[in-house]
A and B are shown apart, each in its own frame.
Chain A
Amino acid sequence: MGVMIEPFVDIVPSFFGTLAQGPLTLTIFLHTVIVLPMIWIYKQEKARLEQEGN
């Protein structure tokens, strides 16, 4: 386990409790899954703008 991954601290194990392994793991995970799909939206819109530009 080491220092980087902590044993479970919350009193009742749960899915989100399990993701909370040490400082900020859960919240960074949630931020990432929320923001990452913006890349896909960006690419789609870029393609659309390029098409319209022609």
Chain B
Amino acid sequence: MAKKSVWSDNRFWQRTAAWITGFASVLLIWLTFDTSGQIVMGNDADLQNGVTKRVPGPTVINYKITYEMDAKRKHEVPVIGEKEMFFGKDDWNEEEAAALLHLGKLASQTKNCMNCHTLLGNGAYYAPDLTKAWLDPAWQETGPMQAMTGKSTKEEAMAEFLQNPSKYPTHARMMPNLGITADEAKGLVAFLKHMSSIDTNGFPRNFGKIQGAVNGK
């Protein structure tokens, strides 16, 4: 009788399955520890000392954020610049900023943002991606959204829109009124500003850099 091949032996494959599953799981757990260390939120001292964190601390709302080409990594990264007013002050302390971000993050979940928008590219595709919404040209001083709300700063314009979205329709598809209060709106804008400061490895590319559209007609 010909020798039985190991390749058609159940026990061989059972042991292989057990080994590969087990070891891949161990590697994933190890990688998770490695990654977790890199994605914890930074703090105010990091920001003051210019320490780059993938996810900066909440007081990043005190600074101007831009999205610039990194010479070494060859894609855009968020750059934290000089101090900038945010709802009338640029000295939000760690506690205040953390509380505001907490409120905003809670609002982003309880108002179900993710089932129309994408956050960091994840969610639904019924409304624009919010990853870098804070940096969107439409909300800058010269942008149409800020002008529409009649507010003089980006954060106030965004907060106004969030509270009365159907008052400022930009397209037939509108954002519904979600009962967002003035405080929640402020928190949400802080949350958006903070999210724009997260290092997303260059996603999305060319954000707000290219003007003019192609028309698919």
Contact = CB atoms under 8 A, between A and B. Distances in A.
Decide if A and B touch, CB cutoff 8 A.
yes
Interface of A: 9, 11-12, 14-17, 30, 33-35, 37-38, 41-42, 45-46, 48-50, 53
Interface residues of B, number: 23
Interface of B: 1, 3-4, 6, 9, 11-12, 15-16, 19-20, 23-24, 27, 31, 34, 37-38, 52, 54, 72-73, 199
A12 B20 CA distance: 29
Interface of chain A, main secondary structure: helix
Contacts of B20: 34-35, 38
A45 B54 contact: no
Nearest to A15: B34
B12 A42 contact: yes
B6 A38 contact: no
B34 A49 contact: no
A9 B9 CA distance: 45
